[in-house]
Structure 1
């Protein structure tokens, strides 16, 4: 066994960056963060960073062996489902301890008008009955699910510009959170939005839109999260994940 434990963080999230910073200060830990590369100018975490895919679970397993990884933490976005299953398979093949770091999901409160759906396609099905001017905050991927809705107008917010297929009537707003309630109120008012579509990312940085929608009485279509692979231990906070790594060292 080496003198230090190499920890690979599958990151790209706020939690992933915080975790990298905290683990970098733990004696006996060497951290590498892996980013998928879907954002042109990502916010980089502390320490070593690699960008790009691994080539499926087999490629990830090979990387774990070659780099002598002693712990794998899946701190990807809750909707990055494929990499989570690849991580579970690769960790099992190489016998590397695996932890999934998942922020808690959003919970509706008094005054919310939420319509939970299982996918973007299902979100597109329910939209025409809910409104005509849509604030779409599900990112630049998957806009093709709404491309056939020619009777609706979309305000699409994403970090990078989306690519076709996309709704024919749309305006793109390039922006990155965190967002404020005041700013979200102004967007809803300025664009006369009457329905919001979001994924249940659970991030505090993007939850202000839910408050603004509640205040305006606007319905919200919420895409539910995909499942975490069975048998994978889940941590809900960075502190818990750091404690898990310290436990491995002990």
Structure 2
């Protein structure tokens, strides 16, 4: 029985867990950070909470006899990705990162790439007056000092302070559809979009609406994977590698 640990929380992580849970020779465990109160639990075994850094994760890999580690976290979850790389190297456990491809601009896009949420906040006043933020509730503190721009932030759960002074929070969860995104832009008179390069189709319609309207998009570049970690673009690719190992 091969034990595979998935560091999850993404749609792809749940899809992978479902595929592996159907394999009779595989034990699959999904680890969730626990930051969202109403989790969508994947198939197979589930654990919630941190490991206590790379040393704690390495100990868990050893004690649970993990055969392969899959980092299927959000592309911006830098800490857990770094911990996974260190733990896998320490225990000589194969590690793959399941990462949906980055978004690529097409004709009509007005993208303004930045390296961080802080840079995104600095860019806002020169680009618009009513911005839709889809950067996640944990990143809103970076915009707390923004003045002169009305911010509409979309979040799965209500964010904690510090928050921007002129803020409306939309509680919603993807995937999002094109017509629904058009309604959001129209109702809130959005003239600027701020997002992270999360990739994938579930949240891409907002980019299409910004393109339709000719609006600028401040897009935060995703961080690089830790050195030596192999990225796999989709669930099918991970399954192929696992079956070949």
TM-score bin (small chain): over 0.9
C-alpha displacement of 1:189: 0.7
Partner of 2:66: 69
1:17 paired with 2:14, answer yes
Query: 2:216 matched to which residue of 1?
Result: 219
Q: In the alignment, does 2:176 pair up with 1:179?
A: yes
> For 1:146, which of 130, 143, 153 is the aligned residue?
143
* 1:45 correspondence with 2:21: no
In structure 1, what is the equivalent of residue 119 of structure 2?
122
Correspondence for 1:204:
201
Q: Distance in 1 between matches of 2:208 and 2:127?
A: 18
Give the aligned partner of residue 96 of structure 1. 93
Q: What is the RMSD of the two structures over their aligned residues, measured on CA atoms?
A: 0.8
Equivalence for 2:77: 80
> Any residues of structure 2 matched to 1:183-198 within 5 Å, and which?
183-198=180-195
Question: Per-residue CA shift, 1:121-177, capped at 9, x if unaligned?
Answer: 000111110001110000101211111112111101000100111100101000000
Distance apart, 1:24 and its partner CA: 1.4
* Equivalent residues, number: 245
What is the CA-CA distance between 1:31 and the residue it aligns to? 0.2
Structure 2 SS opposite 1:167: coil
2:2 alignment partner in structure 1:
5
Point out 4+ residue stretches in structure 1 off by more than 3 angstroms.
Answer: none
Q: Distance in 1 between matches of 2:6 and 2:44?
A: 11
Q: Give the whole-Å Cα distance in 2 for the aligned partners of 1:179 and 1:12.
A: 18
1:42-76, CA deviations, whole angstroms, 9 ceiling, x for partnerless residues? 11111100011111001100111111111100000
User: Hey, what's the Cα distance between the residues in 2 that align with 1:234 and 1:194?
Assistant: 35
State the Cα distance separating 1:203 from its structure 2 match: 2.3
Q: How does 1:18-37 map onto structure 2 within 5 Å?
A: 18-37=15-34
C-alpha separation in 2, matches of 1:240 and 1:182: 32
Aligned equivalent of 1:56: 53
Give the Å deviation of 1:23: 1.1
Aligned to 1:109: 106
Uncovered stretches (5+) of structure 2, i.e. residues with no partner: none
Q: TM-score, normalised by structure 1?
A: 0.96
Distance 2:177 2:64 in 1: 41
TM-score, reference length from structure 2: 0.98
Q: Which residues of structure 1 form unaligned runs of 5+?
A: none
Residue 155 of structure 1 corresponds to: 152
Paired with 2:118 and 2:147, the residues of 1 have a C-alpha distance of 15
CA distance in 1, matches of 2:37, 2:200: 21
